[in-house]
Amino acid sequence: MKTTVGERVFYGVNYILLTLIGLLCLLPLVHIVAISFSSNTAIATGRVSLWPVEPSWLAYKSMIEGTNIVKAFKNSLLITLAGTVFNMVFTILAAYPLSKKHFYFRRIFTLAIVFTMMFKAGLIPDYMLVKSLHLVGKYWALWLPGLISVYNMLLLRSFFAAIPEELEDAARIDGCSEWRLIMQVILPLSLPVIATLTLFYGVGHWNSFFNVMIYINDPNKYNLSVLVQNMIQNASILTEMSNLNPDDYKMLTPESIKSASVIVMTLPMLLVYPFLQKYFVKGVMIGAIKG
């Protein structure tokens, strides 16, 4: 179909506006990257804008050697990978039976689950429950309370319900068991929405801050979010860094260390997102519209 002049103008204006908005969102991150790679004199004199001045890796080197950021990075990986696997397994196990019309009590269970989405007990009852289960100080306190996101479960249930029943009947006629049907038929067809929910869960665990502050009381178990926040709020971060060379101390500023820590925390999600982006819109729209 041939576009009119008005449509071309409309699309052109949209492209320009979206490009400007994208650049405005990107500029703060670019500025932080520039600070993390710049020298102390350039930062102190305010010469750093969008490009590193007198580039140096010293901030990253000193941060890795003088802080617990490597340990916190490993903790974040553990929390994110294990938590996302638990979330996806139990979300699939909850969504699949609720998507079947022959499941007699599916309406009752669905209403009960949706009720928890609208009405919550609150922070104090949640903490009392976690404490009574002896989970304070353990990562299970981060995984179990939010094991299933109701929104994500409903999204996946809608996607499962949209899969033609004739396809499942054909698999059963060929002797396919229920578990094999899920693993070899349902899940491969649901890859877009599964990738989308994996991204939702993964980003949530990677950025978890409040729950870690409440339930984890051992600094050695802190994730990157908590450690970076402590570093940003700490005005005397350089004096508390261990194993810092006196010569390096003179070449560093707290701003460069803080900027480097923010980049280390942000970079993994920036690297993972492009691989899942192609599934993102498709997974959300199919699960929402077809349901």
pLDDT score, position 291: 41
Contact indicator for 252, 44 with CB cutoff of 8 Å: no
Class of domain 59-236+283-289: mainly alpha
pLDDT, average across residues 239-259? 66
Tens-place pLDDT, residues 192-221: 888 888 988 998 999 888 899 899 988 889
pLDDT at 12 over 50: yes
- Indicate the range of 52-56, 220-224, 262-266 predicted with least confidence: 52-56
Contacts of 136 by beta carbon, 8 Å cutoff, 6+ apart: 130, 215, 217
pLDDT, average across residues 16-42? 86
Tens-place pLDDT, residues 116-130: 888 877 888 888 988
Number of helices (H), then strands (E), in the chain:
17, 0
Which is nearest to 92 in space by CA: 1, 157, 158, 178? 157
Which of left, alpha, beta for 152 (phi over 0: left; psi -120 to 50: alpha)? alpha
For the chain, domain boundaries: 1-56, 59-236+283-289
Distances (CA, A) of 100 to 88, 151, 280: 19, 18, 25
d(CA 148, CA 268): 24
